[in-house]
Chains A and B, each alone.
Chain A
Amino acid sequence: MTTYLARRLATLVATLVAASVAVFCLLAILPGKPAQVILGTQATPESVQQLTKQLGLDKPLSQQYLDWVHGLLTGRYGNSYISQLPIGHQIGQALAVTGPLVLFGLVVGLLVAVPLGVAAALLRRRAAGPLITAGSQIGIAVPNFIAGLLLIYVFSVKLGWLPASGFVTWSQDPWQAFKSLVLPGIALGVVEGAVLSRYVRSAVLDVLRSDYLRTARAKGLTRRQALVRHGFRNGSIPVLTVLGLELPSLIVGAVVIENVFTLPGVGTLLLQAVDNRDLIVVEDVVMLVAVTVLVVNFLVDVSYRLLDPRIGHAR
């Protein structure tokens, strides 16, 4: 396990470095000089040059890259080119929205996927099972922003229960903040849940067909006892893998959903920065997402090993 961890960590670091180089290079070729964009078309060449120098963009690319990474590692994110606000602060504020939102989506997704997937597998010979499966097909096909609009229409416009947009900070009014995340969280989670429910279903089917479940029954366990005691852990292994794959798409989904509900989250920050050609903010946000995704994958891999004793011996 220790050697595995060490090796897996090394891969993680190497991947992170590669990702940072990729992000940096991609944005380095961005057309339009940032200084020119910031100062507008009226600016004199001298002032553009001066600002370029001030931003450190006159240095060779390799130096710029190292400065950037150094900043990231030491927590000095610098200031936005455009708003001059400290990026660390901006990202922190945005995370206070996006973090809970993704978590909310994840919880909703699991709440949808696990019961539906299990039911679809257990009831596959009755009418309900295929019906759930068909429903999940439709759920997968609905883009999350459509789901979001549907929720807004029903719960905000028609019923007026929950806010359709905007966000007050947690410190101002936690209850209001929570309320404004309910609809976005559901919109995000339901669609992911539909995707996930198919994997839960086939994982449960695999468990149901397994010999060890029959053994458990032969020991005198009821169907339910056998499923819970023997099926849960076995079934959760493949589902966990898929969950690891789905988390990135939840994060990306959050970018879209924030746009639907005009939430000041990481996605909004990113899109604004893209709009404004705020290079350094784009780089930092993309890196943040990349780190999150890669670390999540790492954690999934590791917990996979903890859940499944067979893997440690395979290599």
Chain B
Amino acid sequence: MTLLQVDGLTVRIGGAEVVGDVSFALERGERLGLIGESGSGKSMTALALIGLLPEEASVEGRVVLDGDDLVAMSEGRRCDLRGDRIGMIFQEPMTALNPVMRVGNQVAEVVRRHRGGSRRSTRERALELLRRVEFADPERIARAYPHELSGGQRQRVMVAMAIACSPALVLADEPTTALDVTVQAQVLELLARLVAEEDAALVLISHDLAVVSGMCDRLLVMYGGRIVESGPTDDVLERPRHPYTVGLLATSTAMAEGGRRGRTLPTIRGSVPGLGRFPEGCVFRSRCERATDRCRTMPPLEGAGHAFACWHPVERPVTVGGAT
């Protein structure tokens, strides 16, 4: 059953289109990975889903959660959904927590907002949540201020806040990017387990293929604010069709293996253009080796199950690591 249906989501900030015509569906309990370089519109997509875009942004399209359109509904109703039906985890656990408020109160706040109850009962609930994110002594953590915790601990607090009201959807925006590699795995594992326990759907945003591939059922590859390829994780990883996905995969696999072989790392030609400087037509054509005149018009995202938006898709299965 479909939990979330996104149709033609477009976000503009100051005339520049940061998210363009993004459409996808998410099943209950499904885990979706949203990947792309920084500046590809991943975070903006997530913020649009939860309705927390910067003031100056304008949104078009539909984001339907359980039959309700989040874009069209009143801000008051959106507030009721945030933290309750939708939980969100941000990238920087250092700054995302209020520095002058005790951690326990910050966790309790989300419970009190949506479930009400006495100070004491919400506090109990907060301790229980802290225990669920694997703190051995939740009482001590609850009394602590954010700066007294490590990065991983802070991010676990964020996870506790996100799942506090058993949401149907959890958005995690680069949840482990700011963390040490050793801590990353731990936090991801915790996130995966808790999302499964709550039977929540997960949208995991990352620029790191390794992070996403292990956790997600399906992948969306974004570039220039657009989805360029989407499909089941295995299909996308094994048979990427869009040249951008191919490049991304090549870079990331080579990073994992190539370093020790002393090879030159394959990279995608050029760099991500600045906001609003993507070319007309196919957004990737300024960096694409396959680009032709035909790419001056935007290719549609087509294909059942495994879809891609390219006039000249990569046909043969690419031997990963060799594609440059």
Interface residues, chain A, with chain B CB atoms under 8 Å away: 125, 210-212, 214-222, 229-230, 233-234, 237, 307-310, 313
Are B90 and A219 within 8 A (Cβ)? no
The verdict on B183 contacting chain A, using a C-beta distance below 8 Å, is: no
Are B95 and A211 within 8 A (Cβ)? yes
Q: Which of B83, B92, B145, B161 contacts A211 (CB 8 A)?
A: B92
Are A233 and B100 within 8 A (Cβ)? yes
Are A212 and B95 within 8 A (Cβ)? yes
With contacts A220-B110, A309-B145 taken as known, whether A230 is within 8 angstroms of B79 at the C-beta atoms is: no
Chain A residue with the shortest CB-CB distance to B76:
A222
Are A218 and B100 within 8 A (Cβ)? no
- In the bound complex, how far is the Cα of B56 from the Cα of A310, in angstroms? 32
The verdict on B131 contacting chain A, using a C-beta distance below 8 Å, is: no
Residues 31 to 69 of chain B near chain A (Cβ within 8 Å): 50, 52, 55-56
Are B52 and A212 within 8 A (Cβ)? no
The verdict on B99 contacting chain A, using a C-beta distance below 8 Å, is: yes
Are B52 and A220 within 8 A (Cβ)? no
Total count of chain B residues near the partner, CB < 8 A: 32
Are B113 and A212 within 8 A (Cβ)? no
Q: Which of A220, A237, A313 contacts B84 (CB 8 A)?
A: A220
With contacts A211-B96, A310-B147, A313-B147 taken as known, whether A217 is within 8 angstroms of B52 at the C-beta atoms is: yes
- In the bound complex, how far is the Cα of B105 from the Cα of A216, in angstroms? 12
Q: Which of B56, B76, B80, B97 contacts A215 (CB 8 A)?
A: B97
Q: Which of A210, A220, A229, A310 contacts B80 (CB 8 A)?
A: A220
Are B110 and A310 within 8 A (Cβ)? no
Interface residues, chain B, with chain A CB atoms under 8 Å away: 50, 52, 55-56, 75-76, 79-84, 87-88, 90, 92, 95-101, 109-110, 113-114, 145, 147-148, 158, 161
Q: In the complex, which residues of chain B have a beta carbon less than 8 angstroms from the beta carbon of A308?
A: 99-100
Are A222 and B99 within 8 A (Cβ)? no
- In the bound complex, how far is the Cα of B246 from the Cα of A92, in angstroms? 83
With contacts A210-B95, A310-B145 taken as known, whether A217 is within 8 angstroms of B82 at the C-beta atoms is: yes
Are B99 and A219 within 8 A (Cβ)? no
A-B contact count (CB 8 A): 78
Q: In the complex, which residues of chain A have a beta carbon less than 8 angstroms from the beta carbon of B98?
A: 212, 215-216, 230, 234
With contacts A125-B55, A220-B110 taken as known, whether A215 is within 8 angstroms of B147 at the C-beta atoms is: no
Are B147 and A220 within 8 A (Cβ)? no
Residue in A212, A233, A237 with the greatest tally of chain B CB atoms within 10 Å: A212
With contacts A125-B56, A309-B147 taken as known, whether A219 is within 8 angstroms of B96 at the C-beta atoms is: no
Residue in B83, B92, B148 with the greatest tally of chain A CB atoms within 10 Å: B83
With contacts A125-B56, A313-B148 taken as known, whether A218 is within 8 angstroms of B82 at the C-beta atoms is: yes
Chain B residue with the shortest CB-CB distance to A222:
B79
With contacts A125-B55, A220-B113, A230-B101 taken as known, whether A214 is within 8 angstroms of B147 at the C-beta atoms is: no
With contacts A125-B56, A220-B82, A309-B147 taken as known, whether A215 is within 8 angstroms of B99 at the C-beta atoms is: no
Q: Smallest distance from the beta carbon of A90 to chain B beta carbons, Å?
A: 44
- In the bound complex, how far is the Cα of B90 from the Cα of A218, in angstroms? 10
Q: Smallest distance from the beta carbon of B96 to chain A beta carbons, Å?
A: 4
Are A219 and B148 within 8 A (Cβ)? no
Q: In the complex, which residues of chain A have a beta carbon less than 8 angstroms from the beta carbon of B101?
A: 230, 233
Are B96 and A214 within 8 A (Cβ)? yes
With contacts A222-B76, A309-B145 taken as known, whether A234 is within 8 angstroms of B114 at the C-beta atoms is: no
Chain A residue with the shortest CB-CB distance to B158:
A215
Q: Smallest distance from the beta carbon of A237 to chain B beta carbons, Å?
A: 8
Known: A211-B96, A218-B83. 19 other contacts (CB 8 A): A125-B56, A211-B95, A212-B95, A212-B97, A214-B90, A215-B158, A216-B109, A217-B52, A218-B52, A219-B82, A219-B113, A221-B113, A222-B76, A230-B101, A233-B101, A234-B99, A308-B99, A309-B145, A313-B147
Are B161 and A212 within 8 A (Cβ)? no
Q: In the complex, which residues of chain B have a beta carbon less than 8 angstroms from the beta carbon of A212?
A: 95-99
Q: In the complex, which residues of chain B have a beta carbon less than 8 angstroms from the beta carbon of A216?
A: 98, 109
Q: Smallest distance from the beta carbon of A118 to chain B beta carbons, Å?
A: 16
Are B110 and A219 within 8 A (Cβ)? yes
Chain A residue with the shortest CB-CB distance to B83:
A220
Q: In the complex, which residues of chain A have a beta carbon less than 8 angstroms from the beta carbon of B50?
A: 218
Q: Smallest distance from the beta carbon of B203 to chain A beta carbons, Å?
A: 13
Q: In the complex, which residues of chain B have a beta carbon less than 8 angstroms from the beta carbon of A307?
A: 100
Chain B residue with the shortest CB-CB distance to A223:
B75
Q: In the complex, which residues of chain A have a beta carbon less than 8 angstroms from the beta carbon of B52?
A: 214, 217-218
Q: Smallest distance from the beta carbon of A209 to chain B beta carbons, Å?
A: 9
List 24 contacting pairs A-B, 8 Å CB cutoff, sorted by A: A211-B90, A211-B92, A211-B96, A212-B96, A212-B99, A214-B90, A215-B96, A215-B97, A216-B98, A217-B79, A218-B82, A219-B82, A219-B83, A219-B109, A220-B80, A220-B113, A220-B114, A221-B109, A222-B76, A229-B109, A234-B100, A309-B99, A309-B100, A313-B147
